Amino acid sequence: MRNSAKNGWSLFLLLLTGIVLGGFIGWLAKDVAYLSWLNYGQQFGFSEPFHLNLGILKITFGLTIKITMSSIIGVVLAIIVYKKL
């Protein structure tokens, strides 16, 4: 067993890759009639960015997350790949 290869960073990178690739595949499949279900999902977050003005420093914070069926499939595949390491 190669337990040294299994660490938190590799899991994080695999999950992030699964989410991004899954979301991209869902976006590509949105106009295909029999694959449009891959882009079905929910978007949540801040509708307006949060602005903080401290005089000399201005900070804008906004966060929106869209979870689609294809990104969930990407996460599942990333976990399977992680377990195979």
Q: What is the pLDDT of residues 4-63, one digit of tens each?
A: 556 888 889 999 999 999 999 999 998 888 988 998 999 999 888 889 999 899 999 999
Phi, psi of 64 (to 5 degrees): -135, 130
> What token pair was written down for 16?
């992030």
> How far is it, in rounded angstroms, from Cα 52 to Cα 75?
34
Single pTM value for the model: 0.74
* Strands 58-61 and 50-53, bridge-based pairing: antiparallel
* 3 state SS for 8-54: HHHHHHHHHHHHHHHHHHHHHHHHCHHHHHHHCEEEEECCCCEEEEC
